Amino acid sequence: MDPRTRWQRLGWAVPWLLFQIFPIADLVTTPRPLWVQLVAAAALVAFTVAYLGVFGRVFGRGGDWPRLQLVVVAVLGVALAVWLGPAWAGLMIYLSAAASSGLPERWVWPAVVGAAGVCTAVLAAHGVLGEVFILPVICVLTAFALRSTRHLISVNAELVEARDELARNAVAEERLRFARDLHDLLGHSLSLIALKSELAGRLAERDPARARQEMADVESTARRALAEVRDAVSGYRQVSLAQALAEARSALSAAGISLKAPAPGRSLPGPVDAVLGWVVREATTNVLRHSDARTVAVTLRTGDDGVELSVVDDGRGGDAPAGAGLCGLAERVATLGGRLVHGPADGRGFRLTAAIPLSTPVAAGQVTTP
């Protein structure tokens, strides 16, 4: 344990040591046999060490129940007070403090009332209760003070744990976001690179000029992917709908797939435009990988309240479960309060639709299949 932490814990107990001035003064000024003084002094030292041990184990995160120390404080405190008289009755204040700090909730007040009762009985037995009646009251007030302190420290420890948990969750969310971004970026770019490289290999002998052009496109795509990854690392990457449609036209054309896309329309808010760009990218990647389609149609409907983008192909269709790409895309759409739907298109093929309100609070969402 850090020594500073130990002293901080003991700091809650040290102020109460002021009450030991009374037994110490009685030990020094009252004539008693030497063996009584030695035994009383040793017992007082053991009592103080056990009392400090209670606070050393209780206050702080992960504190436990100091059974042995509490037993020592209780036995020595009661024995010294009953044996040596009113000057030692103040030790019951320490017993109240230790009990309220170290005992489980259901045992605190019985122990505190017992300590106050012992203090009252000792004072009454020597006929000085009227003079120092405040001591039993201090026993109870000390318990209230230490219970409040214990509760405050417990709440603060829970707040620290909650803050740490929030920090861990934030790191995990950022890792998921970064992994999703890299998947979206590299999945599209690498699919295009693989497609164009395969095409260049087939054209190398019969059409070298076209093969060189395809390899130039591969180089351009690789450089663009590298730049996008660097931007993603820096957190500044944006993908526009217009850019995604241009990339989709190039990639699909290289695969012999025609693209029908809408003409540029009204400008959209930046976050919405970026998410729709990701929808087009993911749809294009899935068409290139899985569909065997010949045509792809992109439709965009914009209203006063929201925008809807659909990408439909005439490929094999099907209703495969959402993979990492679609799940990540659904998270992007849900961040803007929208909804992502995917499934078989009418007749043949596959449809991917994103509906996003133009003004909405952030909401949770998920991929759905009609």
Helix-strand-coil split of the chain, %, nearest 5: 65, 10, 25
DSSP 185-204: HHHHHHHHHHHHHHHHHHHT
Tokens of 150: 């214990």
User: Looking at residue 11, what is its pLDDT?
Assistant: 58
Residue whose entry in the numeric block shows the structure tokens 């010294």: 80
User: Looking at residue 370, what is its pLDDT?
Assistant: 46
Residues 159 and 264 in one domain: no
Residues 130 and 274 in one domain: no
User: Looking at residue 212, what is its pLDDT?
Assistant: 85
Comparing CA positions, the residue from 209, 153, 201 lying closest to residue 12 is 153
User: Looking at residue 94, what is its pLDDT?
Assistant: 87
Task: Please report, in tens digits, the pLDDT of each residue of the chain (370 residues total).
Answer: 444 445 555 555 566 677 788 888 988 888 889 999 999 999 999 998 888 888 777 654 445 567 788 889 899 999 999 999 888 888 898 888 888 877 887 888 888 899 889 989 998 988 888 777 888 888 888 888 878 877 777 787 788 788 778 777 777 776 777 777 777 767 777 777 888 888 888 888 888 888 888 888 888 888 887 777 766 665 555 678 888 888 888 888 877 888 898 877 778 888 888 889 888 988 888 888 777 788 899 999 988 888 999 999 888 766 555 566 788 788 888 888 899 988 887 767 888 999 999 875 444 344 444 4
Residues 143 and 262 in one domain: no
pTM for this prediction: 0.45
Residues 130 and 279 in one domain: no
Cβ atoms of 14 and 72 closer than 8 Å: no
Comparing CA positions, the residue from 135, 155, 136, 142 lying closest to residue 55 is 142
pLDDT tens for 105-164 read 788 888 889 988 998 999 898 888 877 788 888 888 888 887 887 777 778 778 878 877
Residues 13 and 119 in one domain: yes
Listed residues 110, 138, 163: the one ending a domain: 163
**What residues form DSSP beta bridges with 367?**
340
Listed residues 116, 138, 163: the one ending a domain: 163
Residues 268 and 157 in one domain: no
* β-strand pairing of 295-302 with 339-344: unpaired
CATH number at residue 336: 3.30.565.10
Whether 131 maps to a domain, the answer reads yes
The total number of structural domains that make up the chain: 2
User: Looking at residue 361, what is its pLDDT?
Assistant: 46
Query: Coil, helix or strand for 127?
Result: coil
CA atoms of 181 and 145, how far apart (whole Å)? 54
Listed residues 108, 136, 163: the one ending a domain: 163
Whether 195 maps to a domain, the answer reads no
Whether 350 maps to a domain, the answer reads yes
Provide the residue range defining the domain that includes 66. 3-163
Residues 156 and 269 in one domain: no
User: Looking at residue 366, what is its pLDDT?
Assistant: 43
